[in-house]
Every structure is written in C-alpha cells, then in structure tokens.
Chain A
Amino acid sequence: MRPLNEMREVVIGGVGITKWGFYENAEWYDFGSEAILAALKNAEMEWKDIQAAFCGSVYQGTGSGHQAIKEIGLTGIPIVNVENACSSCASAFRLAYQMVAAEIYDIVLAVGMEKMPRGPIPSTAFRPWELKLGFNVQPANYANIAVQYMKKTGATIEDFSMVTVKNRRHGALNPNARFQKPVTLEEVMNSRLVATPLRLLHCCPLADGAAAFILCSKNKLKSKYKVITVAASTLTSGIYGEGYPPADLIPSLKYPPAMSLTELSAKQAYEVAGCGPADINVVQAYDTMAPAELWDLEELGFCKPGEAPHLLREGVFDLNGKIPVNTDGGLMSRGHPLGATAGGQIYEIVLQLRGQAGPRQVKDAKVGLAHAMGAGPNSAVTILKC
C-alpha cells in the first residue's frame, strides 16, 4: 500500500449546501443538484470541468446520483453511488480525495443527499427474530451504551442533556440548520422518555438536505478563498469483538478489540495528517444521540476516558472554548439526512477554516476534524488544514 501522505496534495475546490429541513415539494435530485451547483459556483468552475462524481445517499434507491446529475447535464463522466449508512457522504468524499491524490483525476465531485422516508424507519441491521423481540429501537440501542458509560464514568443524564443544550445553542447561529432555536436544560430533562434514561431531546431530529464538495489538485484551484488541504480522510468499517448495538454487534467477552473502531479511524487519520488531537482547533463530533458526543470526543483523543462530561460543564466544547465541538449545532440542530450528514460536518469545517462561519466563527481555526459514525458500522474521520 502506498501511504496517502506521499501522494499528491488534494485541496477543497469549492463547497455547497442547502438549507436542511423537510422538503415536501422537492426530491433529493432537486436539492442535491442545487448543492452541486452551489459548490460549482463556489469553486468558480464549469460543470464540464468535473471529471468524476461520487454520490452518497442511503434511501434513494438505484442510480440516485445519476438522477441528481441528470438535472445538471450528463457529460459522460463516471458517476458512482455510495451507500455507507450515516458515513455515506464521508465515504464519497474519501473516494473523490483518493482519485485526486492518486492522480487518476484532477477535479472530482463528492455529494451527499437525502430525502428521508417519512415515519419510523426499521433498521436493516437486525435479523427477523430480533425484530420480533423489539431489539431495533435506535434510542434503546444507544441507551444500552449510555447506561454502561454512566456506570463506568459517573456521567449523569444531566450531562447528556447539556450536550443537547450546547449544540442547540450553536445551531441557533446556523441559518442552514433544521432547528435554529435554543433549548433549556429543563426542556431537555422534561421531554418525553423514549428509552430509559434517554428522552426525545437526546435524539437528533431527521431532516432532508444535501452538501457537495469539489476536490481538486492545487494547480486546478480557481477560487481565491483560503486554500484548504485534505490532510486525512479515513474509513474503518467494523472491528472484531467491539459491541455496537445500533449495528446489532454484540461485544466479544473473550476477544475484546485492542481499540475501538473510532479510535482506530482517528489513529489512522492523525498518522496520515501528521498531527494529533492537541493540534485540532475545531471538531464536528457524531452526536446522533446526545451522550454519543461525549464518548466520541474521548475516543477521538480529545480527553481521557470519562473526562468529557466534566469538560463539557467547564465550557471547553463551547464556541469560545478550548476545543469547540459541533459549532454548527451538530446533528442535534442540523437534523440527520443520512446520506448527507457527514457532508454537513465537513462543510462546517471548511467554513470555519476559511473564516466564513459568521457569528459562530471560531478564532484562528487552522485545523479541523469531522467524525461520522453509523450503522455498518462505519467510522469516518476527515481532517482539513489551512
């Protein structure tokens, strides 16, 4: 294997996003193509400059990327659809990055888009006998991890609620988020119980939306924005012995893994990027459920196991804290269009590094990290530098 950091440098040519929320009168190809056109404009490039396209989505069915690109114009380029659960867009981004790094193409599109099915969504990770026993409730899957985390670290339900409060506070400053209204600790603590100890406001909301990226070699760059380099884009998909209830994985008691899937993907990313957690100025962590942000930050190496609740209370993860986390409001505010979610995270890192994040701008952000998890399981870490 040729090390990625010895390959050609890949930079962000341009980025585009749509407002995330429920689109009743539009399909994924409508707002997906809108995000692609926004990225093209941002890149100051023409559609005919794009040499390949990787399109992330989960529920849109066969040829979903082709449907979106058909709205712009077919040009004979290869279009590859990427379904990798909640990491779909990060996986599409990674493929685009590798194509440019390996000098196969110079300018490649990565897009994530999703119009979520309406109503409850049954997971595909569970076997029929498990569905009959009711094992497929996602908040309940996370509740089983959360109670073990509470027992091990002393974290409380109030700590989990503080994650929602922080992220919704950040989300109030993001005009593209589904929820732009802050919530109080009392509102979270009094919201409907879903699966003990987790309540409705500990769960991220669903949304429709899209995000698009043009990745290119440095010599093809046209826009005059600050140059942002893809320092790492890793993907790890499952590790023997690790328990992950949302993907119906039961831990091995005899052969526990040396490190978790998140730790493995982060380790690989830091190695390729030639930096460590201490060098990261802004983080988009995976807050599909509020408590998950806490153990995610620990596994990404931003603090020791069990320390995240305490640091959260001290304001370390606030916009003006030492390690600002989910500066755009995270999944809690943006909402969760599965195939686009990881794109929302990477988009925010780009804005922060360019200094274009407006009222939620983190001061002097030079290196940012985005982490997407999800069923599969998958863990995708993207590190950008300027």
Chain B
Amino acid sequence: MTKEGKMIIPLTEGLYTLPSSPYEKPQLIGSKCINCEELFFPKKEKRLCIHCQQMTLEEVKLSRQGKIASFTIVLQPPAGGFYHGPVPYAYGYVDLPEGVRVETQFTGDFNALEIGGDVELVIEKLYEDAEGNEFVTYKFKLLKEQE
C-alpha cells in the first residue's frame, strides 16, 4: 500500500486480516481448539492446544468489539529500544464476547477509558520512520468515540 509514495507497513504480520475492499473491516486472527473450545490471541503457530494438549487448534477470526478489562496510561518509555511509538500510551486488556482476553494498545481520549467500556478494533499508525513510512498496528477505541 502506498500513500504519496510512502509505505504503510503492518508492525507485525499475521495479527489481523487485511481487508481486500473498503466494505470489509479488519479482524484479529486467533486460534480455537475444536476439542476443548479454548480460544487464543494471537494465533498459535503450532496446532497444539496449551489447555488440552491435543493437536486441535484451528485459525479463527475474532469479534471486532469487546469490553475493557483493565488499562493503564504508561508515562515511561519501555526498556530495550524495541518500542518506537508515542509516550504516553495506553495499553491493557479487552474481553471479546466469545471468551478470550486480548492484550492491546488503546487509542482515542485516554481520559475517557474505563473498565467495562465498550471498544472496537481499529487499525492505526503507531509511528513513522525517517522516510515517512507508516508502521500500523491493531488498537482498540471506545465505541462512543468512533465516527
């Protein structure tokens, strides 16, 4: 994908679907166990279910909406030099209705975040490199703030 010659690059491949048309919306990709029904995000590379130890995992697309389980606004840059996004940033957990908790950054007004708040998946820029290429990631945003 290009925007004025600049690249739009997923920060990490394989975490969410890439829509092929404007009518399609992205979804997180997880794993579901067809034996015990346990769910995982992100998708497990091996088919081994770490709950029932059977080779029974299948790829599954996850719900786009959920509720905030917890969140924090981080004011100190993470160690190690791996993180290139803005600080402060908000991160925490979202519970999806099919029964899986997802670790995520949040976007929108951090002050409006609350436990139990209804959120929806968005794909958004995390940072730009020196050439103006955009690195994008999944995040969750309060439903009441969606346009």
Contacts and interface: CB of A to CB of B under 8 A. Distances in A.
A and B: interacting chains: yes
B73 interface: yes
A151 B115 contact: yes
Nearest to B13: A129
Contact of A134 (B38, B70, B91): B91
Contact of B101 (A145, A151, A251): A251
A166 to B, nearest CB: 24
B82 A131 contact: yes
Interface of B: 11-12, 15, 36-39, 42, 50-51, 69-76, 78-80, 82-85, 89, 91-93, 95, 99-105, 115, 126, 137
A1 interface: no
Contact of A120 (B71, B79, B84, B126): B79
A137 B38 CA distance: 28
A137 B76 contact: yes
Given A122-B79, A147-B115, 20 more contacts: A119-B79, A122-B82, A133-B104, A133-B126, A134-B74, A134-B89, A144-B70, A144-B93, A147-B70, A148-B69, A195-B73, A195-B75, A195-B76, A196-B72, A196-B73, A240-B50, A250-B102, A252-B51, A254-B37, A254-B39
Contacts of B37: 254
Contact of B38 (A119, A151, A252): A252
A195 B77 CA distance: 10
A139 B38 CA distance: 29
Given A144-B70, A148-B69, A254-B39, A133 B76 contact: no
A147 to B, nearest CB: 5
B78 A134 contact: yes
Top 3 closest pairs, chain A to chain B, by CB: A122-B80, A120-B79, A143-B72
Contacts of A147: 70-72, 115
Given A132-B11, A148-B115, A253-B95, A137 B71 contact: no
A241 B39 CA distance: 11
B99 A131 contact: no
30 contacts: A120-B79, A122-B78, A123-B79, A128-B12, A129-B12, A132-B12, A132-B82, A132-B84, A132-B126, A133-B83, A133-B105, A133-B137, A134-B74, A135-B91, A136-B78, A136-B80, A140-B72, A143-B72, A144-B70, A148-B69, A192-B75, A193-B75, A194-B76, A195-B74, A250-B93, A251-B101, A253-B99, A253-B101, A255-B36, A255-B38
B83 A250 contact: no
A230 to B, nearest CB: 34
A240 B80 CA distance: 29
A144 B84 CA distance: 22
Contacts of A131: 78, 80, 82-83
Max chain A Cβ within 10 angstroms of own Cβ: one of B36, B80, B99, B137? B80
Nearest to B138: A133
Interface string A188-203: 0000111111100000
B45 to A, nearest CB: 11
A193 B15 CA distance: 31
Contacts of B75: 192-196
Contact of A253 (B72, B100, B103): B100
